[in-house]
Amino acid sequence: MDERQTIDLTWKILRDDGRGRDPFSDDVSWLKNRNKRLVVFKSDMLVSSTDSPSSMTPEQIGAKAIVSCVSDFAAKGVKPLACSLSIALPRGRSNKEFVSRMAKGFGLAEKKYGVRIAGGDTGESRSEIVIDCAMLGFADRIIERRGAKVGDLLGTTGRFGLESSGLSLLLSKGKRKVSSKTFKSRAIKSVLEPEARLVQGLRICRYTSSSIDSSDGLALSLYYLAEASGLDLKVDRIPIAPGVEQFALQNSLSAEDLALFGGEEYELVFTFPRKYEKEMKKLGTIVIGTVLARASGKHSLVYLGSRVLPRVGYVHNQVPRIR
């Protein structure tokens, strides 16, 4: 079973309503407190075999465990307040040096994103490094995956393909061609030291109608947005990061595929009313398309020009992340 099937079956058994659906179907969950504010919470698990290349340092592993959770809060326009960390280490890693360095990574992320680490749990694993980050925040409003309207513009906080290129470079062990040392350095750093777009998410949330982070890949994230609102999306241009097209050409790869199907780039993908285009561009938004009425009956589609994009991306238990 992939992660979506696992979630649906779990909810079906928990709620016994026959639907088997996540009641939130979003990047975070939320409940109202007595003051009618939203208590926002999220957990995200890092598993070393699928989420961290072998060249990742303990500091980078620790930081990434927090970054992935912060990214989901960024997509919702919510400032995270605190988190707890549950850690399972194999005996070979449960030593003073590794734990000290991993904790340093936690501290760097804690300071960068203003999230207080408030506790957690520890355990032992057979071979994997497993870090589960459970995060909490408060909000008056959440930008959900649903909410797009026909005519809205489609935007991103950045360009894509750099992380996929970096992963390709790391796994090739020097076999990939690259003409620019600067590009190589940037691409590899994007894999080993990903950054959540929290500042951007908090700035643009006043204008967005729907939003998601791109950790599952640009194409799949676009499908999630389209399906949540029951509409279609039309992409006029793929926001490909500088240097990716040359790297793809040198290595007989597709720059489009690197940008669309990689995953874990932690950019934000969102829709917003056309009347806010000027304000959004001032905040760094890259406009890549528009929201359309659904034309195919049952299923929402994402078009690149006149062709339909495949609904492909990174899904746990379906596509190995580190390959």
pLDDT tens by residue, 138-176? 999 999 999 999 999 999 999 999 999 999 999 887 789
Contact, 212 vs 75, CB < 8 A?
A: yes
Token pair belonging to 239:
């926001």
Q: What CATH superfamily is the domain 153-308?
A: PurM-like C-terminal domain (3.90.650.10)
Same fold, 3-139 and 153-308: no
CA–CA distance, 259 with 193 (Å, rounded to integer): 18
Contact, 176 vs 164, CB < 8 A?
A: no
Contact, 100 vs 59, CB < 8 A?
A: no
In CATH, which of 3.40.50.10440, 3.30.160.270, 3.30.1330.10, 3.40.50.300 is domain 3-139? 3.30.1330.10
pLDDT in tens, the chain (323 residues): 777 777 777 777 777 655 556 667 799 999 998 888 999 999 999 999 889 998 999 999 999 999 999 999 999 999 999 999 999 999 988 899 999 999 999 999 999 999 999 999 999 999 999 999 999 999 999 999 999 999 999 999 999 999 999 999 998 877 899 889 999 999 999 999 999 999 999 999 999 999 999 999 999 999 999 999 999 999 999 999 999 999 999 999 999 999 999 888 999 999 999 999 999 999 999 999 999 999 877 899 999 999 999 998 865 444 433 33
Report the predicted TM-score, pTM, of the whole model to 2 decimal places: 0.91
- Domain residues of the chain, as ranges? 3-139, 153-308
CA distances from 261 to 42, 151, 299 (A): 24, 26, 20
CA–CA distance, 188 with 211 (Å, rounded to integer): 27
Contact, 159 vs 240, CB < 8 A?
A: yes
How many CB atoms lie under 10 A from the CB of residue 128?
A: 16
Question: pLDDT digit string (tens) for 257-294?
Answer: 999 998 889 999 999 999 999 999 999 999 999 999 99
Q: Which residues pair with 80 in a beta bridge?
A: 137
Label the pairing between strands 80-89 and 116-124. parallel
CA–CA distance, 315 with 312 (Å, rounded to integer): 9
